[in-house]
Amino acid sequence: MTTYIALFRGINVGGNNKLPMKELVAVLEELGLQNIRTYIQSGNVVFESKSQNLDQLADMMTAAISKSHGFEPKVLLLDAAKLAQAINNNPFPEGEAAGNTLHFNFLSGKPPKPDLAAIEKIRAATERFQLKGDVFYLHAPDGIGRSKLALNMERLLGVPMTGRNWNTVSKLQEMCGG
């Protein structure tokens, strides 16, 4: 069995795509996933599976939620080793002290043509970023609520992504036994 992390995008946000975690666990159990644990209501799930095909697992999850709840959330899957690697590669460890200012944006793949120059132009003076493979790190000490960089990074990187702050990432690692 392999431990995986599912990062659901766009569930329970702003009153849309409501999916209580208890119901999400039931849907995932029907897929044969085991030892399912959730963290907060925004779609963070740690589970175990014999499957090694992440694309197939993600498609199964999306289809099952579509069938049971009528919407298709995007889901990004990574294994515990990939999460640990993202944490170890964190270029802004000083941001961990205020965990809601340090963001790990997990990309669906390595961006083929990221527009880092455009990202540099729109970042606030206090913001710092770094792209490492398929993780885009953003340290935004003033928050991301009004950040032009946060608002535009997916478009400028050119690949789908979902972000989690340091508090969530470290909790997910703890849930994986790390």
Is the predicted pLDDT of residue 16 greater than 90, yes or no? no
Q: Which tokens hold the place of 55?
A: 């694309």
Q: For residues 37-43, give the mean pLDDT.
A: 88
**Which long-range contacts does 117-125 make (Cβ < 8 Å, 24+ apart)?**
118/152, 118/156, 119/149, 119/152, 119/153, 119/156, 119/157, 122/148, 122/149, 122/152, 123/148, 123/149, 124/148, 124/149
Q: Which tokens hold the place of 43?
A: 């779609």
The whole-number pLDDT of residue 135 equals: 97
Is the predicted pLDDT of residue 178 greater than 80, yes or no? no
Asked if 5 contacts 172 with a C-beta cutoff of 8 angstroms, the reply is: yes
CA distance 45 to 16: 19
Phi/psi at 139 (5° precision): -105, 115
The whole-number pLDDT of residue 145 equals: 87
CA distance 164 to 178: 17
Is the predicted pLDDT of residue 20 greater than 90, yes or no? no
Please state, rounded to an integer, the average pLDDT across all residues of the chain: 93
The 10s digit of each residue's pLDDT in 63-111 is 999 999 888 999 999 999 999 999 999 999 999 999 899 999 999 999 9
Is the predicted pLDDT of residue 122 greater than 80, yes or no? yes
Asked if 63 contacts 57 with a C-beta cutoff of 8 angstroms, the reply is: no
Q: Which domains does the chain have, with CATH numbers?
A: 2-82 (3.30.70.1280), 89-166 (3.30.70)
- The more confidently predicted of residues 43 and 135 is 135
Is the predicted pLDDT of residue 15 greater than 80, yes or no? no
Phi/psi at 14 (5° precision): 60, 30
Asked if 10 contacts 74 with a C-beta cutoff of 8 angstroms, the reply is: yes
Asked if 33 contacts 27 with a C-beta cutoff of 8 angstroms, the reply is: no
Is the predicted pLDDT of residue 139 greater than 90, yes or no? yes
Q: For residues 37-64, give the mean pLDDT.
A: 92
Is the predicted pLDDT of residue 38 greater than 90, yes or no? yes
The whole-number pLDDT of residue 14 equals: 67
